[in-house]
Amino acid sequence: MDMSDAVIVKSTRLKSVVWNDFDRIKKGDKCIAVCRHCKKKLSGSSTSGTSHLRNHLIRCQRRSNLGIPQLFAAREKKKEGTYLNLDQEQKKDEAFNLVNIRFEQEQTKDDIINYGSGNFDQRRSRFDLARMIILHGYPLDMVEHVGFRVFVKNLQPLFELVTSERVEADCMEIYGKEKQKVKDMLGKLPGKISLTVDMWASLDGTEYLCLTAHYIDESWQLNKKILNFIVVDSSHTEDKHSEIIMESLMDWDIDRNLFSMTFDSYSTNDNVVFRIRDRLSQNKLLSCDGQLFDVRCAANVINMMSQDALEALCGMTDKIRGSIRYVKSSEIIQEKFNSIVHQVGGESRRCLCLDNPLQWNSTYVMVEIALEYRDAFALLQENDPVYAMCPSDVEWDRVNIITSYLKLFVGVTNVFTRFKSPTANLYFPELCEVYSQLNEWCKNADDYISSLALKMRSKFEEYWMRCSLSLAVAVMLDPRFKMKPVDYYYAQFFGSGAPDRISDVFECVKTLYNEHSTCLAYVDQGLAWQVGGSSRLPGSGRDLRDRLTGFDKFLHETTEIDGTKSDLDKYLEEPLFPRNAEFDILNWWKVHAPRYPILSMMARNVLGIPVSKVSIDSTFNTGGRVLDRDWSSMNPATIQALMCAQDWIRSELES
């Protein structure tokens, strides 16, 4: 082509990075793009796009010495406000179209770069980066770290590096889209939802209220999802906390589908529970008039009693801790102690160890092992004038007794955390054993021990008064036990008063069963109306429910008179299911739901109650849950988005 009269076109409209390596030449009515490296001529028409130019640059032999990293650097310099320097960086302020986690967006030509035999998607890669940061809890500003930028440039030079502000915006977009998915899912659940309420803190003392939903889904799997992670002022009253929780329930539209709420076993939560329960009860939204609504964390009450035991051990624990430090202070003393151990014949396979005061079970392990060297410590004190901190015989005896208490608490707590998703039926037998042991410990002749036992039992009985009904109903729905554990343990605890207590449990079971029977009838009626094509005004279903309440009660009573057995009657009359380690109660109810349609609805709601809300990683912590330092420095809306989205993404990956 004759280029004698060709003119190089300089236009501000040429935004693509490829024009750093091409000259756009106009000859007559045609535009040509000429590679500055190999002088190859390609179409430069505005209707031709730039993909063919990008492909040429990747393959251009004469440009190979420069390489793609230079293309990347040129691309960054081309965009105004996006020059990325390892020492200094300016803010990016152009608008971005964000994508969701499933990459359902429409991709534009500028987002997809032909790269060899495949495509590079800028927005998808940016979104993967935000998702990774959420999932693993990385700090947002990691994208501005020198090492990360060098790594990304070498890995994929075409990726346009982003600022922490851009990543934060992407994370907020992920949160918004994932929240809508969770909200839609909660609205379609076949059963009710139970909530746990946790308090978190940041290193600077800021407090956060965390609401988590627990439910059993259509496939009979127990699930949980964080709904809110809200900053609260320490000066807020119980009324303010209850208001925050109610606003969250209505925001998620689950206030009409709530079954129970689980709080820590502190009296400060009493007024919060009362206000929420009172508000929901006014609209008749709670089952059994709210008798099962207030649940306190079982692991929390065990932890509180353990702290009482450790407090009683405090002086003796200091002596044991000091004794272990002394023995380990030098090789000479260690050898001397080992010789004494061999001499007294008390060799143990376990080595002395110090505890982590932030993990109360480690203190139990330290003391339990030290007890095995009791005689050796006593003889060491006789033969070593420097060592004078050995506990006395009375102290060792008390350590031995209190350690047995801690051993029970550790064992019960391990049962609570043995399963990733523990159902409510697991707790009744374990907590009954704790109650039984507390009663025995109170009879100890040593006033020091008996007063400790009385203090612990007082805390437990306060918990038992609130939660025993929920625990008993849950164990009744375990086909391996049914009402038998209630009969057995209540006879031990309450003597002649046991029949009345057992009757209270059974009356609650029947009331709950009747309520679910009524609900099933309305579900069936609703389906029938839909099939028949009938139309009804909003709220007419609730009005009908109110009008037919008396009729449903009459129907239930006459059915019993007619001799027709209910689901509940058939379930309780059948033999107990054999106990084995592999038993899966949710799978059992899934299989038997057609046989017990009403009772299975009830089981779905009751077994989903989170009787214990302590996570496995913080089971034995003596302090509260602490927010990550990097995330805690951000604004409250971003913190909530990151915490919730992280939980949802992890749940999605594990499912």
**Tell me: the pLDDT tens digits for 492-501?**
999 999 999 9
Mean local confidence (pLDDT), 276-294: 90
Whole-number Cα distances in Å, 123 to 76, 134, 245 = 16, 17, 37
User: How does pLDDT run across 377-391, given as a tens digit for each residue?
Assistant: 999 999 999 999 999
Q: 255 falls in which pLDDT band (50, 70, 90)?
A: very high
Please answer whether residues 191 and 218 qualify as being in contact, where contact means their C-beta atoms are separated by less than 8 angstroms.
no
User: How does pLDDT run across 430-487, given as a tens digit for each residue?
Assistant: 999 999 999 999 999 999 999 999 999 999 999 999 999 999 999 999 999 999 999 9
Please answer whether residues 403 and 364 qualify as being in contact, where contact means their C-beta atoms are separated by less than 8 angstroms.
yes
Mean local confidence (pLDDT), 166-188: 96
Least confident of 89-103, 140-154, 297-311, 485-499: 89-103
Does the global pTM surpass 0.85? Answer: no
**Taking the C-alpha atoms of 515, 521, 526 and 528 in order, what is their torsion angle to the nearest 10 degrees?**
170
Mean local confidence (pLDDT), 90-101: 34
Percent of the chain with pLDDT over 70: 82
* Burial grade of 299 (CB within 10 A; 0-12, 13-18, 19 or more): buried
Q: Which letter, b or e, does each residue of 2-34 get, where b requires 16 or more Cβ atoms within 10 Å of its Cβ?
A: eeeebeeeeeeebebbbbbbbbbbeeeeebbbb
What is the distance in angstroms between the CA of the first residue and the CA of the last residue of the chain?
A: 62
Mean local confidence (pLDDT), 84-100: 35
Mean local confidence (pLDDT), 582-590: 95
Distance CA 60, CA 148 (A): 29
Q: 527 falls in which pLDDT band (50, 70, 90)?
A: very low
Q: What are phi and psi of 203, to 5 degrees?
A: -65, -25
Mean local confidence (pLDDT), 73-96: 39
For residue 285, pLDDT beyond 70: yes
For residue 358, pLDDT beyond 80: yes
The enclosing H or E element of 515 equals helix 498-532
Mean local confidence (pLDDT), 543-569: 62
Comparison of pLDDT for 468 and 536, the residue scoring more: 468
